[in-house]
Each structure stands twice: as structure tokens, then as C-alpha cells.
Structure 1
């Protein structure tokens, strides 16, 4: 959004960012209430061992099991959730620092710049997460595991 050629998209970026923040907040609440956070953050001994086993297996060419289970896949989803949360929090702080209709730098330009750099860092992590996520979904699909069918409801996929 710092490129002069994309500045016209900034109002949309702010609106979509606020919507993403609401969706993310609902997801965190849902994950806390219903979905087991231990799956996304397998930091217990058993979870760490499973992630390590699957990571070493991946280096040997063995894909981890897809679906809802504690392991490398769910851990990476948790890391993506943390990256999205960092991007959302820094974005909402910047959103609050700029008064509505204000043009120009906010009162505390140094703090704003710091949050901008953090927001960009988390955004780059999200792009890395997204590209890896799509790549591994395609690899699973090619290997015969119908993950795309499970993701998009286009057929029977693993649960």
C-alpha cells in the first residue's frame, strides 16, 4: 500500500482489514469455545513430538496426513493464525492512529512508521503462509488425497 500506484486501493484495504479483524476475532472466540486450540498450537510434549516426526518425514518425502489432527499441518495453520493476528492488530492500531478524513501523517509519525513496518512484516509472512498452503494442498491433491474436494465441498475429502 506504500506504492503510489496503489494508493487508490487504500480505502478498500482499510475496510477489508476491519472486516478481516472481525472475522479473525470471531474465529479466535470459536476456536477457544469449540475448536481445540491444542490442535493449532501443539506445544505439549506429545504434540511437539508429532510435529517433529511429521517434519522429518516431510524431509524424507512423506506427506503428513491431511485433515483435522494434531501435527505439522495444524501447527502451520496455527502459525498462519498468529501471522494474521499480528497483521490485524498492527493494522487496527494504525487505523486508530489516523483520524477519519485525515490526510497526512498521524501525530506520532515515528510510532506509526514502526507499526507500518510490523504490519508489512506480518503481511509478508501471510503471503509466505498462503503460497505454502496452496502448494501443499496441490501436492496432496496430486498424491491422491482429495483435499480440494474437502476444502471446497466438491466431493468426499478426508475429515
Structure 2
């Protein structure tokens, strides 16, 4: 009987996971707010990384922040895909929210390029490869999130 009870619980959990998640514009806006905060966190960590004398702990904090941003971008893309098409007003609000943190993204890219020699100076082979891997993953995840937003945008 105990095995049957566990089986029923497992079956219930599995069926709950199989139900498509339905999101709304508020979910997308919340995802954008989290992404914006994480972009700022990543920018702050990269900016704080010294031009000389950096350490592995700071570099790994940047890597962790980039990973967290990637996770939020994936979640944002998923939430957006599960949302109905945006109204004109919601589309404008979402666009404005994304545009607010665009300068931070551009600053992050500028600073990380400028700090490439600092990463290369770390006594850890492959750290620049890890940074490149993070940037490539963020590029992929950002593209997927942007594609999801564009797909739900109102037709002009």
C-alpha cells in the first residue's frame, strides 16, 4: 500500500509538471526587473575587478554573476514564450524597461574588453577562455530572450 501511495504522489507531481505554465505580462515585467538587477550586479563586479593584481575569487564572482544572469535570461525567455501577445501599451512598457538597462549592458561589455589584460594576468590558465565562454552563453541567452520578446510584441 505504501508503494502505491508513493506512486500516486509521483504521478500527481509528474502530471503537474506536464501542465504548460501560463504566464502573463506581469511575469515578463518581473523577469525583466530581475534581469536588470543582475546586469547591474555583473557590471559592478566587472568594474570592481582591478586592472592589475586581481584575484581568482573576484574572477569567479564575475563568472557566478554571469551564470546567474544566464539563468534569469532563460527563465525570462520561458516566461515570455508562455505569455499571450503583448498589447500595445504593455509592449511599450516592456520596451522601456529593457531600454533602461541597455546602457549598463554596453558599459559591461566595454569594461570587460578593457580588463582583458587583467584577466590574462591571473595565474590561472584558461580564465580568459572561461570569460569568453560566459560571454558566448550570455549572447545566446540574450538572443533567445530578445526573440521571445519580439515574438510577443504587437504588430505595428
TM-score, normalised on structure 2? 0.34
| Higher alpha-carbon Rg | 2
TM-score, normalised on structure 1? 0.33
